[in-house]
Structure 1
């Protein structure tokens, strides 16, 4: 069952709409230009995970886009309405979307709740490295490129995934034109290094123009409490092959272990994957 709730000033807790029927006007700039933002989170037993982090990132994206969106408490009420209406007790995908709406009419915003797609979790991944075409300083030099915002303009990300699958891979890790490891189309990159019994968890540096990962941030907090040392790049592809484990992490798929990059095997560690997976599961 898919549940759709619009954030509507006339409905303080959100307006429930029929997700099986057309709802957006074809002139909405989210459709015509991809002019909007979104967040996707997981709800477990009716409770959204990392809600505050997702709402904070939504607000950051809105600020970067100069987009006037509803306040966090309005989103929270609409999310609660959508989760109350659904009759699915399993894990659910909760998607928040805000577009600039029709020209001059103000933002259009909604919450969409649906089941987690089957086959999304539990597989080791074959990954391709793909050049994003920007160097690692572009986010600082050209903020209008919105490198750190979660926008609706995902055509390039989806094209990268199609390219990977057409070449027998499952996913992608983007690199910069100056050779730095960035992120996946829908995920954050993690590597582990174990040195003299000390476990290090490392992710690419945010300054390289990547989206701050809510799941990565929550995992880092839990890992620090569990005794892991943390690091923020910079990483190059050689670091992936020299690591003691590589993972892609996202809010719905959660932690996915990488088994090969560009057809070459990388170290896999069921023990580290189980430990990190337990830490991911512990985060609410």
Structure 2
């Protein structure tokens, strides 16, 4: 990715009566020194983030992403982000996006240790080339996430379901998948139920019915998955959130990984077992996901 823009926000200056939001922003060099060494996002991964797709200058699903940022802040006991301030900052950064695809990242950190306020910033970069994964599909392996399906109910301190900056496990899972000759991983519980991919939601199709693992299992409620379900329902398909056994990954008529930047990547194999890929239908899904969505 190549950086295009970066903007620091001052969360302490957010005020519901404020109109001059530009006064709370500071443009910074994304390649230069910006954050202090005591910043807890770097020290401990203590913060939250959202990644938004930007297509031809249009920032996708701003409302759902800000809602999930607020939910993550609540789970992590961070100050609630001011949606008006963040919307103004997103619009400001979006002016740096031209034609093509970009990724915009929103970050809210606890700030400097024992500091008075959190730290917040937005970056914009060119998106990776996702043509191959969208058109040809991805090979995945299943990896044990290390907890049972009921873990979120009795261990809320794990912050399962929050989109935190602590992505060391997620990145390690992708590296392990690549060591096994695959492109990506799908996390599963110790009692063998599907959760999510390290950076994507999982959606399965059986006939005219589409299903995804329930967010109650402690996974992120995907913004792209939500948008896709609305699209599918409008076309007459049924959708559901449910408990998905691992075996369903290879018995479904089709399956996809969904994320804000990669969009719909069909799964073509699971642990070496081939899975059918409907390329024409996947093209339809991605055509929708590339269209302007609010």
Contact 1:45/1:91 (8 A) holds in 2: yes
- Please state if 1:79 is matched with 2:90: yes
Deviation string 1:93-148 (CA, Å, 9 cap, x unpaired) is 11000110012321000000111123464341010000001001111111111111
The answer for the alignment partner of 1:140 in structure 2 is: 153
- Please state if 1:99 is matched with 2:112: no
* Secondary structure of the corresponding residue to residue 258 of structure 2: strand
- Please state if 1:39 is matched with 2:50: yes
**How many residues align structurally?**
279
Give the deviation of 1:168 after TM superposition.
0.9
Give the deviation of 1:247 after TM superposition.
0.4
The answer for the alignment partner of 1:203 in structure 2 is: 212
Give the deviation of 1:72 after TM superposition.
0.8
Gaps of 5+ in 1: none
Contact 1:222/1:283 (8 A) holds in 2: no
Distance 1:29 1:190 in 2: 34
* Secondary structure of the corresponding residue to residue 179 of structure 1: coil
Residues 161, 87 of structure 1: CA spacing in aligned structure 2 closer, same or farther, 3 A cutoff? closer
Contact 1:148/1:209 (8 A) holds in 2: yes
Gaps of 5+ in 2: 15-19
Distance 1:231 1:280 in 2: 19
* Secondary structure of the corresponding residue to residue 25 of structure 1: coil
- Please state if 1:21 is matched with 2:32: yes
Runs of 4+ in 1 over 4 A off after TM superposition: none
Q: How does 1:1-284 map to 2 (within 5 A)?
A: 1-8=3-10, 9=13, 12-13=21-22, 14-84=25-95, 86=96, 88-105=98-115, 106-119=117-130, 121-122=133-134, 123-194=136-207, 199-282=208-291, 284=293
Moved more, 87-96 or 150-159: 87-96
Distance 2:54 2:78 in 1: 26
Contact 1:193/1:201 (8 A) holds in 2: yes
TM-score (norm 2): 0.91
Distance 1:47 1:69 in 2: 25
Give the deviation of 1:88 after TM superposition.
3.2
